[in-house]
Structure 1
Amino acid sequence: MSTREPNRHLERLYQQTGWTLRQFVQAVNRIGTERGTPLKYREPSAHQWCRGHLPKETARPLILEALARKLGRPVTHAEAGFPAPAGSSHATPSAVEGLLDLGRGDMDPSRRSVLGIGLFSVALTVPNWPDVVGRMEAVQGGGTPRIGMPEVDMVIAMTERISELDDQFGGRHARPMAAAFLVNTVAPYLRADAPESVRKAMMSAASDLCYLTGYMAVDECAHGLAQQYYLKALELAGAAEDYLTYCTTLRGMSVQAVDLGHGREAQRLADAAAAASPQAGPRMRAFLAGQQAHAYAQIGGSNTALMYLREAEVAMDRAESRGKAFGSYDPAALNYHISQVRYELGDLPGSIKAMQESDKVRYGVYRRARVRHRAALAERQLEIGHLEAACATWNLALDDYPLVQSGRADQRMQKMRRLIRPHLKNHAARELHERARLVIPS
């Protein structure tokens, strides 16, 4: 009878973590739940992996991510003693080819790969501004018509329309539309002949669309996919020398990280966004400082968080005095950050007050945000024992919920059903539960 060789590579990584076998499998199971595919591995599984039994192909990226999060650095298949993924190659695709591969897999939901689509990676390598600025493969002419600023303006306008649909209805239906537009229209434009000024403007417009598509992937909890879109946005923004979209994308990556509870990564990305935008105007400065405040609050840096929050408030006052800017960082977004900072620092009543103020001043078109943030407000009202106030707020969220197609909104509503279940002796809670049962998918 042949004996299986122990996986010395995986065993060495496991020893470096300081984990018990139980902690190892718990970390892997948590990532599976985060991705939307709950796992139930127990200690014998981890023992078998180290003894040389090869984990399922779908589990290997989760094991690598668990190790990477614990060790604070990337962990490759080879380093863990796993075979390379099927179809992998050492060749790095060009920017446009990579964009085509990403978009084609996303524009048709039936073709999306399950493996890794929702897997957020803390070990992702994020390029710094000097590493991407002005860099992109030379345009390949031949067969593609020459483009000018009208094509750039069309891409910008389409991105704005898709963003409006996302704000009002959620990203579930809008993202495949954005992916198809990237593949069928924007990618060919990036390869077209054009004057240098037009070419840079098109790359900037494409970067903004990639950022939006990544944000919509976050909305559907496809976190690994979102990170890939964000990386493309950074690459294109650097090639276009568009520091504004570069900084906005880094901030978006920080928002994704902090919402998933990865405070250190969120802080690193928020600081990188601020550092890459030294000459930002007051509204952009408020936009960046508010996110820095939230990230530092999550990791317990209360003094730094409050410093950045004050900076965001001062910058917002300056920005508002210069006139309203619909569609950018506004008082509703600032109050949301104030609420998040106060909540992270343990000030629950202050968090509720700021969230109520955010709801009061939010523009009506932001329906998806209204559903999610009202649900969060209700959860905090319930947390301090205000059951009937929470039920009233959840009912407001339910008013808009049927019109929104959003994975994050779905999660909030499912959580509401769980939280309200122990309180069904209360009349308001019972009525809310009955209404939710008819509206929320089981």
Structure 2
Amino acid sequence: MQPDARHRRDPTPNSTLRGLLAETQWTQEAFARAIARLGAEAGVRLSYDRTSVARWLRGSRPSPRVQGFIAEALSRRLGRPVTVTQLGMGDGRSGGHGPRTAEGRGEPTEWTYISSARPSRPADQLAALTAAVVGPPRADPPPAAPYQLTLLDPSAPGPAGPAAPAKGNSPAVRAGSPRAERQPGHEGVGDVPTETPEPLRPRPPRDHSPSSRGGRPARRTAPDEVASVREHVRFFSQQADRHGGGHIRTTLAASLAALVRRLRTGGEGPHHPQLVAGAARLSYLLARVYADEQRHGLAQRAFLTAAELAEEGDDPEGVALVRRALSSQAHQLGHRRQSLALAEAACASAPADAAPSARAFLFAGLAVAQAGQGQRLRALAALRSAEHELARSPADLTTGPECPDGEPVGAYQDAALHYQAGQVRAALGDRDGAVRELRSSLRFRPEGECRSRALSEAELAELLLAQGRLEEACAAWELFLEDSALIRSGRARRARDRMPRLLRPYAQEHCVQGLLTRAGMPLGRVTAE
């Protein structure tokens, strides 16, 4: 259903929006296409055209969700933040879509995600990100939110402009400013690729001694609470790679919602920072789930919340891992400049005592981002650094290799590194090398990692097809269909949806007909499209 179906007509033409559109030098059709692309980033299918834009210019008001996409499209084109309130559409609540709450509980939902400042406290941000998922009467998908480049730009104000909380400009959130964090005279990993970046100096330890609040002693965080959160992190990380985010979204959100209540009550003692750091890892996993479902706007917000929690929990390694994850997400969405800045920031902020597997993960992400920018020598050097660090890492038999796009919470192993080496080779134009790396990744990948295997197999099939190796590509897609039948993953569904379009020129080939028949895709549909 088109989100603009219940719009409200204002008799006054929208001269403000017309002025913004004129400044972009876009045609109305190009503007509509840009909004559709933003919807795809957030997992929403939009089919606006120039007539839709013309109605908005005459005074029609789309829903608040769509206004968020409009504002982000203009922000990207103009190179400055444009908020919903600057669109000339009232306060963003027009069209009969005022601010909504989750079942009357006062939890922020769609309005919070789209047009207002993120809550200042990470616990409140988690509440907003999980309320729609776990609220009664059933677990529903959360509302869509646009992926915002301004959240990654250190020179721009926060989502709400100058009124955004000061926390939003902390190093954990404003992760796109690596050069400001490096020590004087040090050029960073990107410029000296064979050396390890000098980390940020550790901050003084915080005082977590018990204190009174309102006359009552603060509750001390117990070790068993921390152990429970760590077990949840391990379990959900494994399940995400084995079965996809769709299977764990509701239970993960419920676990986080329960943890939110604990964080809001406060805590003291030496174990409390570990509890907050554990909450950061769970928020990180929620972001991975949203990204897997192709809800990148929500994933971005969950990653940023994880960064703030990691900083609050005195976990600089966690901050670096989140920056790396944001880099991977930006690369996947085609924002290569932001991806490289985030990857550099991740390496620059890694603590000196970071685990070798974590350092390998960071260097591999840097290699992918540099390859995406055509920096061949630096990318290959960073990849060698990742291989060196992983060779120093002790084998971890309690957690399997993480997801193909490499966003580990526990371990980072050979399968993930080979996958990212394949991404580097592909970006540098070495398709043969990319195929070899993906096949190596699949050899190292355990059979139970169905989601990870499925995504690697789909990518391998597309690479083989691009080389004209049709039968090998079909064989890879056969394996993809086997593994994807066992998972719930938005990325896997999107890969499956690409098959008919990619195979259309070969629809008469026997191997293609057998593959599409097995996939349940009518041959007539393939040949007719």
TM-score for both structures, normalised by structure 2 = 0.74
> Structure 1: how far apart are the matches of 2:19 and 2:374?
32
Q: Are residues 1:98 and 2:181 paired?
A: no
Deviates more, 1:271-280 or 1:101-110: 101-110
Q: 1:354-404: per-residue Cα shift (whole Å, max 9, x none)?
A: 111111112333221100110110111111111111111111122222211
The alpha carbon displacement at 1:113 in A equals 4.3
Give a deviation string over 1:245-281, Cα, whole Å, max 9, x none. Answer: 1111111111111112221221122122112115244
- The worse-fitting range, judged by mean Cα deviation, of 16-25 and 426-435 is 16-25
Q: 1:279-298 maps to which residues of 2 (within 5 A)? A: 279=352, 280-298=354-372
Show the counterpart of 2:226.
152
RMSD of aligned Cα (Å): 3.1
Q: Deviations over 1:216-247 (max 9, x none)?
A: 11111111111221122111111111011111
The equivalent residue for 1:411 is: 494
Question: Of residues 415, 423, 434 in structure 2, which corresponds to 1:340?
Answer: 423
Q: Residue type of the partner of 1:313?
A: E
Which piece of structure 1 moves more, 251-260 or 18-27? 18-27
Letter in 2 for 1:390: A
Q: In structure 2, what is the Cα distance between the partners aligned to 1:140 and 1:358?
A: 53
Matches of 1:217 and 1:372 in 2, distance apart?
A: 16
Deviates further, 233-242 or 95-104: 95-104
Q: Tell me if 1:79 matches 2:86.
A: yes
* Structure 1 CA distance for aligned equivalents of residues 275 and 424 of structure 2: 37
Is residue 2:269 matched to residue 1:164?
A: no
Percent of aligned positions that are identical: 33
Code of the residue aligned with 1:42 in structure 2: it is D
The corresponding residue for 2:282 is 209
Structure-2 change in CA distance of 1:20 and 1:80 (3 Å): same
Alpha-carbon spacing, 1:140–1:369, altered in 2? closer, same or farther (3 Å): farther
Residue type at the aligned position of 2:513: R
Q: Secondary structure at the match of 1:123?
A: helix
- Residue pairs, 1:180-195, within 5 angstroms: 180-184=254-258, 186-192=259-265, 194-195=267-268
- What is aligned with 2:20? 13
Counterpart pick for 1:114 among 135, 143, 146: 143
Higher mean C-alpha displacement, 152-161 vs 191-200: 191-200
Residue segments in structure 1 that go unaligned for 5+ positions in a row: none
Counterpart Cα distance in 1 of 2:298 and 2:212: 26
Q: 1:150 to 1:290 in 2, by over 3 A?
A: same
Amino acid at match of 1:129: P
**CA 1:216–1:140: 2 relative to 1, 3 Å:** farther
* Equivalent residue letter for 1:66: A
8 A contact 1:375–1:416 mirrored in 2? no
Residue 311 of structure 2: aligned partner = 238
**Partner AA of 2:321 in structure 1:** T
Cα distance, 1:53 vs. partner?
Answer: 4.1
- Quick one: structure 1 residues 143 and 413, their matched pair in 2 at CA, closer, same or farther if it must change by over 3 Å? farther
C-alpha separation between the residues in 2 aligned to 1:96 and 1:81? 33
Aligned to 1:176: 250
Tell me the amino acid that sits aligned with residue 206 of structure 1.
Answer: A
Change in CA separation of 1:217 and 1:33 when aligned onto 2, cut-off 3 Å = closer
Given that 1:211 and 1:249 are in contact with CA atoms closer than 8 Å, whether structure 2 keeps it comes out as yes
Following superposition, the deviation at residue 411 of structure 1 comes to 1.1
3-state SS of the aligned residue for 1:389? Answer: helix
Distance between the aligned counterparts of 2:495 and 2:349, measured in 1? 34
- Secondary structure of 1:221's partner? coil
84-93 vs 55-64, which moves further: 84-93
**Residues 68-77 or 268-277, more deviating:** 68-77
**CA 74–364 in structure 1, closer or farther in 2 if over 3 Å, else same:** farther
**Partner Cα separation in structure 1 for residue 521 and residue 27 of structure 2:** 45
Q: Does 1:129 align with 2:171?
A: yes
Distance between the aligned counterparts of 1:139 and 1:223, measured in 2? Answer: 41
Once residues 382 and 130 of structure 1 are traced to their aligned partners in structure 2, the CA distance between those partners, rounded to angstroms, is 41
Write the distance in 2 (CA, Å) between the matches of 1:276 and 1:64.
Answer: 32
Confirm or deny: 8 A CA contact 1:171 1:216 kept in the other structure. Answer: yes
Please state if 1:263 is matched with 2:305.
no
Contact 1:251 1:269 in 2 (8 A): yes
Distance 1:306 1:22 in 2: 41
- Aligned 1:296-335 pairs, distance under 5 A: 296-317=370-391, 319-320=392-393, 322-324=394-396, 326-327=399-400, 328-335=411-418
The answer on whether the counterparts of 2:44 and 2:144 sit within 8 Å (CA) in structure 1 is no
Residue 385 (structure 1) aligned with residue 468 (structure 2): yes
Counterparts of 1:40 and 1:129, CA distance in 2: 38
Greater fraction of residues in helix? 1
Separation (CA, whole Å) in 1 of partners of 2:118 and 2:381: 45
